[in-house]
Each structure stands twice: as C-alpha cells, then as structure tokens.
Amino acid sequence: MKIIVTGGFGFLGSHLVKHLFKKYVGCTILVVDSLTYAANLGNLKGMAAKGYDFKFTKVSIADDYMYKVIKDFKPDVILNLAAQTHVDRSIRHPKEFVETDVVGTFNLVYWTTKLSVDKIFHISTDEVYGPIIKGEAKETNALSPTSPYASSKAAADLLLLSYIKTYDFPITIIRPTNNLGPNQYPEKLIPAVICRLLSGEKAFLHGEGKEIREWIYVEDCCKAISGIMDKGKPQEIYNIGSGVRYSNKEVIYFIIKEMFGADAKFDDYVEYVPNRPGNDFRYAVDSHKTLKLIGEYSTTSFHSGLRKTVNWYKRNKWFWERSYKNIDANIYTDEYLR
C-alpha cells in the first residue's frame, strides 16, 4: 500500500504515520509537509533507519506542485492532515488559515480529481459544529463555526461535500475532538500548561475556565482513523470522540495534581488572564456511527493519557523549551483588533 500523509510532521500527523507503519506492514508512506512553525522533523526522526519505507517532500498543499507529487507517487490512499489549527492564532492571522485550510484543501482535491486515487480522507475538526450547549453533535448537524479556524475547516468541509455531489468525488470526512499526547506544539492547552509549570512559571487560566472540551488520546484517535480507512464508506462523515469531557479549569487542575501531587493548591500554580474573544462554551460529538463501524477505539483513559503526556514532556525538554518561549504570554487582548 502506498499512502500520502499531508501534514505528517505535525502532532496528529506524526503519530498517524507511526501507527500506519505498524498496522500496514510493508507499506510506503510519503509525508508531504511545508514545515511550518508547529511541524517538527524530530517527530519522525529515524523512520527510514528503522526499516520503514518512508519518504518526504517539502511542499505546501496549496502549491500546484502537488499535482506532480501525486502523479509521480501514485498513492492508493491520501490522508489530508495539513492545516493551520490553533484557534488563538487564527484570530490574529485569519488569512493564513484560509490559505492553508481552504485554498490548500481545494488545491489538493482539484489535482486529485485529475488523477486516480482509490481512497481520500480529510481530517476536519469537531469545531465546525460550533458550540453544543446541550447534547452531542451528529455528523448530520448543520455547521455553525465561530472562529476563523473553525470557519476555515467548515469551508473546506463544505467544498468537499460539493465535490461529492458535483463530481462523485470519493472522499471521506473525519471530525475528531481534542487530542492529547506527546509531541504537541506547546501553544495548545495541555502542553502549554505542562511546559510553563516545568519552567517554574504559572499556568494561564483564560477567563473562568468553564469552557468544556471532549478529549481523546492521540493513539486512540489514530486507531479510529485507520479503522475508518479499512471499513468506512467514501462520501461519508465520521466523528471521532471519547465521550470524556472536562472544562479547561478541570484539565489544568488535573495537570497540577499529576505534576505536584494531591496536596498541591490550584491557585499557587495558576495566573488568571482575560478570555479570548468568542471562546465557545462546549464541544461534544456523537461517535456512535464510528463505534458501530469499527468497534471500541478509545481505550486510553484521560488520566492515563495525561500521565503519559506529562512524563513525555518531562523527558523531552529539547522539544519544547525554545518554542514555548516564543508563544505570546497573553494574546487575549485588543491586539486582535489592531
């Protein structure tokens, strides 16, 4: 099997590449990545030396060179994970998100329609549904994004749905919830908190921290994606969630207790800062369609996954020490409007 993984040096992408090599023994994987700030070559260091048939091309999916990449490699499967993904950054730099998440996705499918690829999977996000105050979002829910990031992903999804209707395009859309695990760039909540605390600084709690997110361990998410690769139908949408939901304040509390023990006092390790504009209150998805298709996949408990994540960042200071210091300490200000 020959597989293209776009965005393969990112957080979820690199975990997925490793998972695919283990599951599909003898497969060939070409990672296509433009190596933006959140990518890290160290995420897939030594793959070829370990005997895997691993290849890499540095190119943006928005570049027309993608046609040659796909034509020359002749993949059986394309997994599109190339995206700008950080909500906070999208508020300050929305154009970058449109260029990658919308234009890039269009470019990828435009050239793919000119070539023969058996299976194409687009990794979207649960944020396209917008805030879910009660209940859970099903794959049939209308899209109601509220941030430039979520809107760019929703626009890509709508574009792909139009290609399904107009061109009978064989793409499958996958919408995971928040992932946690090693190798994540420290601008996201969990690694940001861990890295600040490891550096002797306080974690930032934005607003009251009441916003609720659904969490899945990254390796479990990879299992679900490959399960959908095997059993899913083209032109369908699949949610990937765990049913495990916590507020941001609870997540920070769990990290503090994991790092400093049960007697640690929350306020000793937290600095309260203003919330960001339009922070959605709650995300939650209904994953029964995926569970019915592939069976149970979310087998790592939140607390077990968090422990693995904390321990990884403790052991891998090289990964985060320089990058986390370049992240704005408090970007939830009127800087957004300048």
Q: Which positions are annotated as active-site residues?
A: 126-127, 149
Other beta carbons less than 10 A from residue 272's beta carbon: 13
d(C-alpha 63, C-alpha 182), whole Å: 30
d(C-alpha 286, C-alpha 255), whole Å: 26
Q: Which tokens in the block code for residue 59?
A: 């190119």
Bridge partners of 214? 245
Half-sphere exposure of 280 (CA within 13 A, CB side): 24
Other beta carbons less than 10 A from residue 251's beta carbon: 22
H or E segment to which residue 163 belongs: helix 148-167
- Return the exposure string of 136-165: e unless at least 16 CB atoms fall within 10 Å of the residue's CB, then b: bbebebebebbbbbbbbbbbbbebbbebbe
Radius of gyration of the chain (CA): 19
How buried is 235 (Cβ within 10 angstroms: 0-12 exposed, 13-18 middle, 19+ buried)? middle
d(C-alpha 253, C-alpha 190), whole Å: 11
Residue 101 near residue 83, CB atoms below 8 Å: yes
d(C-alpha 257, C-alpha 172), whole Å: 40
d(C-alpha 70, C-alpha 4), whole Å: 8
| DSSP string of 97-135, one letter each residue | HIIIIIIIHHHHHHHHHTS--SEEEEE--GGGG---SSS
